[in-house]
């Protein structure tokens, strides 16, 4: 009988009695090809006999080697394979990236609409501070509105997220290339947001802009998710690229704002003082209110070129506006180097018109009804009372 490929089989009969426990025979393995246990009962024996069919070969059975060669396969039916976890995690991360990119697209799209239509932003926090920031020199890069650039960046990030999910939304890119593009985008966006947070804290201290803060939060979140998806080893390979890219973005933004600030400061502004004529007629109510404001020492601060100051005078009318204590903050005209009138600087005036009534400061145009309420004005003629809201 050949020695290879042949398994010698033997049958052993072991007498098992209650007084003698069963002892496992060493170096013998059960063969799966035969019944493992048979209990025989004969008429001439008073005890049961256990018969084991065992394999005496030192070489493992082929079926055993196949079943035990890959333990991970046998355990896969009991526990989920760990190799599927990163894939599902990546898909989830890319879905989050697409969703965040979509939110950023809506945010910057709204700001772009305001910029293109020259509309005022709705600011639930901080009053009119949103418009001050969104219309400042920092809201554009070399003349291009920052909201339009952000809108394009968020749209591209959302598309890259969809590509990595595997939907084939627009581009047909390999996964490594799409991840590189996503890393470059999120790094640039987070760097720009960090720069603008610095500007917001230094140049606009005490001013709140929810849209700006939301955009910064979204862009930084995109970078964090992207880096988490790459892993530590991949991050170590690209950290140099990220540092250079961040420095480039901040350098471009700083250069743009410095150039725009220099252009504005170098412009020659020379406005000679002029007077504007009030065309509306005053009502008895507006005249009585103007006299009351004068008597209690209420003042309104403005400038001759201020269109809102003229509109405030139009509310009172020609006769009543002459009774107001109107403080001109630039009586000698305005040009480069001209300082605001001392009375205005001492009152801390920052915009026109500004009312000071009983120690309370009101910025912007005010309705006659509001001025009457704050000054404690009452009018006996009930027929004229509706004009308080004009």
Instruction: Please tell me whether residue 17 adopts helix, strand or coil conformation.
Output: strand
Give phi and psi for 97, each to the nearest 5: -60, -40
Name which residue leads in pLDDT, 121 or 348. Answer: 348
pLDDT category at 268 given cuts 50, 70, 90 is low
Does the structure show a pLDDT above 80 at 243? yes
- Which CATH number is associated with domain 85-266? 1.20.1440.130
DSSP code of 137? G
Average pLDDT, the chain: 75
Name which residue leads in pLDDT, 377 or 37. Answer: 377
Name which residue leads in pLDDT, 64 or 166. Answer: 166
Rounded-to-integer distance, Cα 50 and Cα 69, Å: 31
Of 253, 148, 156, 245, whose CA–CA distance to 195 is shortest?
A: 253
Partnered with residue 140 across adjacent β-strands are 145
Using N-to-C axis directions, what is the helix angle for 146-165 and 84-117, rounded to 10°?
Answer: 160
pLDDT category at 11 given cuts 50, 70, 90 is very low
Partnered with residue 14 across adjacent β-strands are 50
Average pLDDT over residues 120-142: 71
Q: Where are the CATH 1.20.1440.130 domain residues in the chain?
A: 85-266
User: Which option is the CATH number for 284-389: 3.40.630.10, 3.40.30.10, 3.10.310.10, 3.30.930.10?
Assistant: 3.40.30.10
List the single range of 275-279, 333-337, 346-350, 375-379 with lowest mean pLDDT.
333-337
Average pLDDT over residues 102-124: 86
Partnered with residue 29 across adjacent β-strands are 55
Instruction: Please tell me whether residue 18 adopts helix, strand or coil conformation.
Output: coil
Q: Where are the CATH 3.40.30.10 domain residues in the chain?
A: 284-389
pLDDT category at 124 given cuts 50, 70, 90 is low
Buried (b) or exposed (e) across 119-144, using 16+ Cβ within 10 A?
A: eebebeeeeebbbbbbeeebebbeee
Give phi and psi for 299, each to the nearest 5: -130, 150
Average pLDDT over residues 15-41: 45
């Amino acid at each position: 009988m050949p020695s290879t490929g042949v398994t010698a089989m033997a049958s052993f009969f072991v007498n098992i009695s209650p007084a003698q426990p069963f002892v496992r025979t060493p170096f013998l393995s059960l063969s799966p090809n035969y019944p493992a246990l048979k209990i025989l009962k004969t008429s001439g024996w008073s005890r049961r006999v256990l018969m084991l069919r065992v394999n005496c070969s030192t070489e493992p059975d082929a079926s055993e080697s196949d079943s035990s060669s890959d333990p991970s396969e046998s355990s896969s039916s009991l526990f989920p394979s760990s190799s599927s976890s990163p894939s599902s995690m990546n898909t989830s991360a890319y879905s989050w990236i697409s969703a965040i990119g979509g939110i950023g697209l809506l945010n910057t799209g709204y700001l772009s609409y305001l910029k293109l239509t020259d509309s005022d932003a709705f600011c639930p926090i901080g009053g009119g501070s949103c418009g001050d920031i969104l219309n400042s020199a920092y809201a554009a890069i070399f003349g291009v509105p920052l909201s339009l650039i952000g809108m394009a960046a968020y749209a591209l990030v959302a598309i890259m997220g969809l590509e990595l999910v595997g939907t084939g939304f627009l581009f047909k890119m390999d996964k490594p290339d799409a991840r590189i593009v996503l890393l470059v985008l999120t790094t640039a966006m987070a760097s720009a947001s960090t720069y603008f947070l610095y500007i917001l804290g230094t140049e606009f201290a005490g001013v709140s802009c929810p849209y700006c803060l939301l955009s910064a939060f979204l862009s930084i979140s995109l970078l964090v998710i992207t880096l988490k998806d790459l892993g530590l080893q991949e991050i170590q390979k690209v950290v140099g690229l990220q540092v250079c890219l961040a420095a480039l973005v901040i350098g471009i933004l700083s250069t743009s704002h410095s150039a725009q600030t220099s252009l504005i400061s170098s412009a020659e502004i020379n406005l000679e003082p002029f007077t504007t004529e009030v065309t509306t007629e005053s009502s008895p109510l507006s005249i009585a209110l103007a006299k009351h404001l004068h008597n209690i020492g209420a003042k309104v601060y403005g400038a001759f070129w201020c269109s809102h100051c003229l509109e405030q005078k139009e509310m009172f009318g020609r006769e009543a506006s002459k009774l107001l204590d109107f403080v001109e903050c630039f009586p000698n005209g305005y040009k480069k180097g001209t300082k605001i009138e001392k009375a205005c600087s001492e009152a801390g005036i920052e915009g026109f018109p500004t009312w000071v009534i009983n120690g309370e400061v009101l910025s912007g145009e005010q309705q006659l009804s509001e001025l009457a309420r704050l000054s404690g004005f009452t009018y006996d003629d009930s027929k004229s009372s509706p004009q308080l809201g004009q």
